Chain A
Amino acid sequence: MSGPAPTCAIVGGGLGGLVTYTTLRHGGLEPGQIEVFGTDPDPASVFRAHAAAIKQRHMRSESNGHCFARSFPGLAVRSALRRPSVRPLVDSVRDRYRPTVEEFLAHVAEVRAESGWDESFRRRRIERVRAVDGGFALDDEGVFSHVMIVPGHPGLAYPPGLEDDPRVVHAYQRHDYADEVAVVGAGMAAATEWLNALTAGASVVSVRRREPARRPLNVERRYFTKRGLAGYWRTDPEERIALLRSFVAPSYPPGPDWDEPLAHAISEGRFRVEPELNGAPQVICATGFRRGFQADPLLTDLVRAHGLETAEGWIVLAPDATVPGLTDDRRALALAGVSAQWAHPGADTLVGMKYAARGLLRRVRRWHTR
């Protein structure tokens, strides 16, 4: 892209920030035209810590869960070329391909190195975003025409009353396993922890009040394209809130890799389900992250300062994930990641983050060609 340089800022230096960055770079922006504000230059630092804590070996995402701007070639194609083997391709067309966490982290490192990310990165936590004439002011860092806010998850969630319990550790914190472990929750992290604890020789009590759904992804596949999104966007606020709640219900993928170890442990009397905690010496809370913009100081401030429309914990966004009241033909403010679920139910996935990034890129291009 030539001509006058738009000034873009990305608030958030995690995977969502990296995906936005590569998309803008693909659109022709130079590293000097983009500033990324974050607390760690490694975009995978938070994910790495979480994955290590739960000893996650494979991603839940598939071949297209990567940080490149274009969806092709995906991780399956790259893996097939690297090995070389057609197996990843065959698995991919069967929707069975799951990259390893190791492969994914290597991919993130590669993208970081090749994209110019470090040139654009500023180690700085942005606390306030304000709409001003010609763009958005980020603390004292200047005014940017186009801003993507990707704050990530606002913190770990604990069941009420357990946060200060000395027996408790969150699944996403580094931990070992006692002889008897109670795992609270029933999603992907919980299922991973069941197997981890069983492998470590512990007996496991799964504490849950409802049975988890078994599905490959936490959001139905049709919601990742216009086919499902068009209907999603037509919903009224109440329907949409109900849908979003259904998507956060606990689930983990189907398959013998999960079922067989559990069945074996049940037969040995080492795994059982309870509705409530029963005095186990160690309690692992696999209860995910705090939800809602109210849990994030930056977003809370933004909503209050500009009187943004909200629906329960979600900021109301346009279908392209921009903030309607603050976006026009001169500037764009967009959200990505979990805070963009009003626009895209899978916004906290890599594909969903890319969707929001592409929306911002369209705005940037429109601005340029005005």
Chain B
Amino acid sequence: MAYTLSGRLQSRLAAALLPLLVACVLSVALPAWWPLELAGLMIGVGLALDLAYDRLFDYQPGWVAVPLGLFELGAIVMLVRTFEIGAPLWPALAFFAASWVLAQVLAHAGLPLLRLSYGDDGGELGWIGAGLAVTTLAVFGTAGVYAWSQLPPTVHLSAGVHQGPIVITHKQHLVGERGTVVRGGIIVRADDVVVRNIATLGGEYGIEVDDAQDVVLDNVRVVGATLDGIHVRRSRVSISDCRVDSPSGWTQGIDVSFSYGMGMSMIEGCTVVGGMQGIVVDSAEADIHRNRVSTTSYQAIAMTEMSMGMVSENEVAGAVGAGIACVDQSMCMIEHNQVSGTRPDRSTPGLERQAGYGIVSDYRAEAELAENELVGNAGRVGVFAGAVVTQPD
């Protein structure tokens, strides 16, 4: 077919309409945005490439659709990764393949049957083409309005001290201005909550998350919590760029516990200073990545009670007892960390794992170590009570 530019674009939109509607149904049924995002990306990439194809091909033999389809697939995969669209691989590939096959069937059979002069007109569809463009825009417009209507409300906290505790029980973005402080802490009991740019002062827990999914704590600061700086139970959270200053005593900086099976939590880019334990993951799955933990009095970073996850690129300094501990049947990948200046815990004489090791694996835990830098610790790697440590050759 020797397409005109308009014919290419109209044929593309005609072929995209059914996949777009299917994507809408899938997005509602799953529910998830990726089918609609993927369909939008496919249409966008296709229309953009059609501008190039128009210059490249005066006439396009049928077989050229195969390499062009593969090229478009490659471009879409790249963009899905770039835009971090959460499309599962095989369903997404199936969606693309089905859409491509449909496009071929329409181009060779459906549209010529629909419009007598489809070939003569170089793929143009007349008023049907204009209708398709309007319909496609309407579908995306409707989806956009729906998405906008589903966005959680954003509550802005002004600078200054606010009396807490603040209890969040529905989807919400709580965003503070520079210098916003909540005295008495924040309690999150709803899914999809975002807490950003807020400091808490005092309280038993600086920020408490209970029974909530997909909670984001971003750029928060916790000072003076009497038990845990950030206390997470039965939840999945993403904690990033936080700072927790814990007073001495039975305190912990970040404690994610009893969340096994709820998906991977993320603790990244945080600075935790003081307290008995810096970051604790207990019966949960978590990635602990690029944090700085210092001057803890028992363990700086600990994964315990059948936890699972990765501890990587963290800096641990001046801990007492143990630097990084993988304990009690947990499975830990411990890579590219720096642990320095760990000293023995004089308050627990006879407890060997607290003898100042940089890394500890205890009671049937499995720790896989790679490329860790251990400097100036009382001990390097301690393995106890049936635990296992493996290192690459």
Contact = CB atoms under 8 A, between A and B. Distances in A.
Interface of A: 23, 26, 64, 69-73, 92-95, 220-222, 224-228, 230, 351, 354-355, 358, 361
Contact of A225 (B1, B112, B113, B116): B1
A231 to B, nearest CB: 11
B27 interface: no
Contacts of B7: 225-227
Interface string B61-76: 1110100000000000
A93 B109 CA distance: 13
A72 B65 CA distance: 18
A351 B2 CA distance: 14
Nearest to B1: A225
The winner among A73, A227, A230, A351 for most chain B CB atoms within 10 A is A227
Interface of B: 1-4, 7, 58-59, 61-63, 65, 108-109, 112-113, 116-124
Contact of B112 (A71, A94, A361): A71
B62 A92 contact: yes
A225 B4 contact: yes
Contacts of A354: 120
Contacts of A224: 2, 119-120
The prevalent SS among residues of A at the interface is helix
A227 B58 contact: yes
B120 A358 contact: yes
Contacts of B124: 226
Contacts of B116: 23, 26, 69-70, 358, 361
Contacts of B112: 70-72
B113 A227 contact: no
Contacts of A23: 116
A72 B112 CA distance: 6
B117 A94 contact: no
Contacts of B123: 225
B63 A221 contact: no
A220 B2 CA distance: 10
A117 B350 CA distance: 107
16 contacts: A64-B119, A70-B112, A71-B112, A71-B118, A71-B119, A92-B62, A93-B65, A95-B62, A222-B2, A222-B59, A225-B119, A225-B121, A225-B122, A225-B123, A226-B7, A226-B124
A224 B4 CA distance: 12
A226 B119 CA distance: 9
Contacts of A93: 61-63, 65
Given A69-B116, A355-B120, A227 B63 contact: no
A358 B124 CA distance: 15
B106 to A, nearest CB: 11
B3 A72 contact: no
A133 to B, nearest CB: 31
Contacts of B118: 71
Contacts of A94: 61-63
A227 B117 contact: no
B4 A227 contact: yes
A225 B120 contact: yes
Contacts of B62: 92-95
A227 B58 CA distance: 8
A190 B65 CA distance: 36
Given A222-B58, A224-B2, 4 more contacts: A93-B61, A221-B2, A225-B119, A354-B120
B34 to A, nearest CB: 32
Contact of A227 (B61, B65, B108, B122): B122
Interface pairs A-B: 7 shortest CB-CB: A93-B62, A225-B122, A222-B2, A72-B112, A221-B59, A226-B122, A227-B2
* Interface-centre pick from B65, B120, B122, B124 (highest chain A CB count, 10 A): B120
B14 to A, nearest CB: 15
A351 B109 CA distance: 16
A93 B66 CA distance: 11
